């Protein structure tokens, strides 16, 4: 037979607890989701361009020599693509005053996009063409962007830790406040022989019911926002933004987050209640 709850939270406390847990779950899911999306984007972007490099020839007289040196290293190169003048003009359009008729057009460098079979082959080709052209690996060129991405992940991880800590403080405060308000009931329960574990289960039942409702609401509110963020990133189709996202495992981790928060709140409630009971 199911045992009824002997005491419960007051209405104001229930509203406060539900609101706090819902907001904290919402923020926790968003922080975790965005952190995973950015982290996944950084990894995919780095893996995609890890074997690419750009060879920039600023002196027209060196173009033939660079072509020959690239041909001599075909055993190390997967593919070579020479950018046409029209492509270079489109790339540099924001910096050119008048597209094809601009004065700077004739000074545009000749560029080769090179994909290597192995990342280790880059150094040999770099040394070979280094005197006649500027060799820039995509991973080196994108290092500031990748570093910024990892810094964002670290910041979001710290934010997630602060959110979890806030949840623990709020749950501990509510449990302590509830126990003090129901001090008379606790004394009666002790007098009739109720064990500490029975009282703890009463508190855990109350907190668990509130957390299930609040965490569920927070999770459902966060998912649409997260989907919008991912959609905006993908629609940009520019650089690392297009790589942001996560797969099925990411969604599983997001689904585990509310459950982990509920379990965490129940554990904090147990420790706080036992501490109060042992003090009396």
- Whether the pTM exceeds 0.75: the reply is no
Exposed (0-12), middle (13-18) or buried (19+): which is 179, by Cβ within 10 Å? buried
CB atoms within 10 A of CB 228: 10
**Distances in Å between the alpha carbon of 274 and those of 3, 127, 203, 280?**
21, 69, 10, 10
Contact between 105 and 69 under an 8 Å Cβ cutoff? The reply is: no
Contacts of 246 (CB under 8 A, 6+ apart): 33, 36, 37, 40
Going from the first residue of the chain to its last (280 residues), give the mean pLDDT of each consecutive group of 10, the final group possibly shorter: 51 77 91 89 75 79 82 81 72 56 62 80 78 77 77 90 89 77 67 73 84 91 90 68 80 92 89 76
Residues sharing a CB contact under 8 Å with residue 57, sequence separation 6 or more, in sequence order: 63, 66, 109, 110, 111, 112, 132, 133, 134
């Amino acid at each position: 037979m199911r045992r009824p709850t002997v005491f419960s939270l007051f209405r104001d406390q229930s509203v406060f607890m539900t609101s706090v847990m819902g907001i904290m779950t919402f923020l926790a899911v968003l922080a975790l989701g965005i952190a995973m999306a950015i982290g996944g984007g950084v990894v995919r972007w780095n893996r995609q361009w890890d074997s690419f490099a750009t060879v920039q020839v600023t002196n027209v007289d060196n173009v033939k020599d660079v072509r020959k040196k690239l041909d001599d290293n075909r055993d190390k190169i997967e593919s070579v693509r020479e950018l046409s003048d029209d492509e270079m003009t489109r790339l540099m359009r924001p910096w050119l005053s008048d597209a094809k008729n601009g004065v700077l057009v004739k000074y545009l460098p000749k560029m080769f996009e090179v994909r290597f079979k192995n990342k280790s082959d880059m150094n040999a080709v770099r040394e070979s063409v280094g005197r006649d052209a500027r060799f820039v690996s995509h991973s080196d060129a994108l290092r500031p962007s990748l570093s910024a991405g990892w810094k964002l992940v670290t910041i979001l991880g710290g934010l997630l830790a602060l959110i979890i800590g806030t949840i623990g403080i709020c749950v501990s405060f509510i449990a302590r406040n509830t126990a003090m308000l129901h001090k008379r009931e606790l004394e009666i329960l002790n007098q009739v022989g109720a064990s500490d574990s029975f009282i703890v289960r009463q508190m855990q039942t109350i907190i668990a019911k509130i957390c299930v409702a609040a965490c569920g609401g927070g999770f459902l509110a966060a998912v649409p926002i997260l989907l919008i963020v991912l959609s905006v990133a993908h629609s940009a189709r520019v650089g690392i933004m297009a790589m942001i996202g996560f797969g099925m495992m990411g969604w599983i981790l997001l689904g585990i987050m509310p459950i982990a928060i509920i379990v965490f709140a129940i554990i904090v409630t147990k420790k706080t209640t036992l501490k109060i009971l042992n003090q009396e």
